[in-house]
Amino acid sequence: MIQDKTERHVMLASTILLVLFVGLTLFVASIVQANPGPDSAASSATFRTKCAMCHGPDGSGSEVGKSMNVPDLRSAVVQKLSDAELAQVIANGKGGMPSFKNSLSEEQIHGLVAHIHTLHQKK
């Protein structure tokens, strides 16, 4: 009888711990999903100051950018690029695009990559 009571207490404690773990995991996942970037406002500001002159405020290309044949950052071609590929283009430049590795931190570059991936929603 004591063994049955002990087994029930162990099962109850295990169930409570499992429910707490699952609840905490779901809570953390919902926070991460609700906040796509730790500093998306800063990334947006960096995009406006460093990129929008050619790529336009929405990524579709400004008049200057279109005259230089810059890609539409909202396009499937750009959106399918991996984070590493986009970061490399931003850091090293490509074609007529200048390198930003000396003027932007690695964190800013990764913030721009995240910002570029949000542009497909605005097309």
105 and 62 housed in the same domain: yes
Q: Which domain holds residue 30?
A: 1-35
pLDDT, one tens digit per residue, over 23-53 is 888 887 776 665 555 568 899 999 999 999 9
Domain count, the chain: 2
CATH number at residue 112: 1.10.760.10
- Pair 97, 54: CB distance under 8 Å: yes
Positions of the chain with pLDDT lower than 70, given as ranges = 1, 31-39, 121-123
Q: Return the amino acid letter for 107.
A: E
65 and 106 housed in the same domain: yes
User: Is pTM, for the whole model, over 0.85?
Assistant: no
Q: Give CA–CA dist 50/108, Å, rounded.
A: 11
Helix (H, G, I), strand (E, B) or coil at 27: helix
Q: Give CA–CA dist 46/39, Å, rounded.
A: 11
27 and 47 housed in the same domain: no
Residues sharing a CB contact under 8 Å with residue 119, sequence separation 6 or more, in sequence order: 58, 59, 73, 74, 79
73 and 91 housed in the same domain: yes
One DSSP character per residue, 94-115 reads BTTBPP-TTTS-HHHHHHHHHH
12 and 60 housed in the same domain: no
